[in-house]
Each structure stands twice: as C-alpha cells, then as structure tokens.
Amino acid sequence: MEIALPPHINDVKGFLADDEAKALYEQALSVAERGPVLEVGSYCGKSTIYLGLACQQKNSVVYAVDHHVGSEEHQLGEMFHDPDLYDAGEGRFDTFKEFRRNIRLAGLDDTVVPIVATSEVSARHWHTPLAMVFIDGGHSLDAALCDYRCWAGKIITGGVLAIHDLFPAPEEGGQAPYAIYKMALASGLFEPIARVNTLGLLRRI
C-alpha cells in the first residue's frame, strides 16, 4: 500500500522503522472509522504522522499523549540524548516545538490533538472509547505498566493495541514493552495480529 507521505518525513527525528510505520498506518486505516486513535509517546511526531495520515482519510483524529520532556534515556548524559532538542534556557529536554512543526508541515493540524501530559494525568477522566492505542512511551517498567493500565481497557472490541520496541532477549533491548505485550496476551482481552520488526499488534477480543 502506497502512502502519500509529506516531503519532510525522512527528516523527522524518531526511532520507528519503515516497516513498523507502514504497519501502524495500515492498522489505523482499518479501524479509524470506528473511533479515534491514541498514541503514548509522540517524541517529534514520526509515528503521529503515519497514524494521522490514516485518520485524516477516515475523518478521525489522533490524540497524541506526551509530556514532551523526554524519557529517562533522553536526558543529559544518557544514550539517546539529542542536544538539538535540549532547551538550555529552560534546562530541560523539550520535543514539543519540533513536534508541532512536523505536524504542521504534514498538514495534520486538524487531525492531531496534542495532549501535553503524562498517561496518568491524561487518562484520569478519559471516557472516549478508542479504536486503536499505540504505546511507545517511557521504557522503564513503571512507565510501561502505567501506559498499559491507563489505556488498554479503553480500546473497543475489535480495536487495535500496538506496542513498540519488543525485544524478547534482554541483550537486544529493554524488557518493559515486551512485559506489557505478554501481559496483554495473558489477560484474555487481546489476540495477536502480527509482529512487525519490534512492533507488536494485537486485537481487542
């Protein structure tokens, strides 16, 4: 399936492989008529753009939840710190300006709804059923568990749960996303759709 991507897509900072991005787009396209999509962990908006392009076709929306101050691994001195995204004046990591720019250049201002907050705060009074949830937030066990517990139960029957950065072997990467993936399967609420690279896709039963 060909996707009409914005010209700047390859310049958008992020950690999403092309096959994972295409899979997210296809899954969002398949369910977006039934309700909105929500992602946790937007970073600079790469995944948001793929989800947004699918939702735009179906007159749906993407709620993009991210506090935009970076996860543990993005902070000063950590492995994935990007000095271009560090606001020296504020003394903290800040991806929101870059995120807004990328969404605007993609023509998705009327499709993407940024929510600049944590999962816990965003979900506290959330009542809207969701057609798809994409979890790609903090990779500590506490953060991943919080994201899963906040949002998995809000997915409609037949909706999609996508979890990024699944590494079954500890030497390949952090285990928290894989832990919540296994938790979803063990819950009896989800069945597997596919695994695409490090992206796990499940359907709400």
Fold of 9-204: Rossmann fold (3.40.50)
Q: What is the DSSP letter of 153?
A: G
The tens digit of pLDDT for each residue in 125-181 reads 999 999 999 999 988 999 999 999 999 999 999 999 999 999 988 888 889 999 999
pTM of the model: 0.93
The tens digit of pLDDT for each residue in 13-24 reads 998 999 999 999
CA neighbours closer than 13 Å in the CB half-sphere of residue 69: 8
pLDDT class of 79 with cuts at 50, 70, 90 = low
Is 8 a residue of the active site?
no
**Candidate list 67, 68, 74, 139, residue with the active-site label:** 139
- Rounded to the nearest integer, the mean pLDDT of the chain is 93
Give residue limits of the domains in the chain.
Answer: 9-204
Give which of 65, 47, 55, 61 is closest to 9, Cα–Cα. 47
CA quadruple 204, 118, 120, 112: dihedral, nearest 10: -40
For the cut 70, the answer to whether the pLDDT of residue 71 exceeds it is no
For the cut 90, the answer to whether the pLDDT of residue 74 exceeds it is no
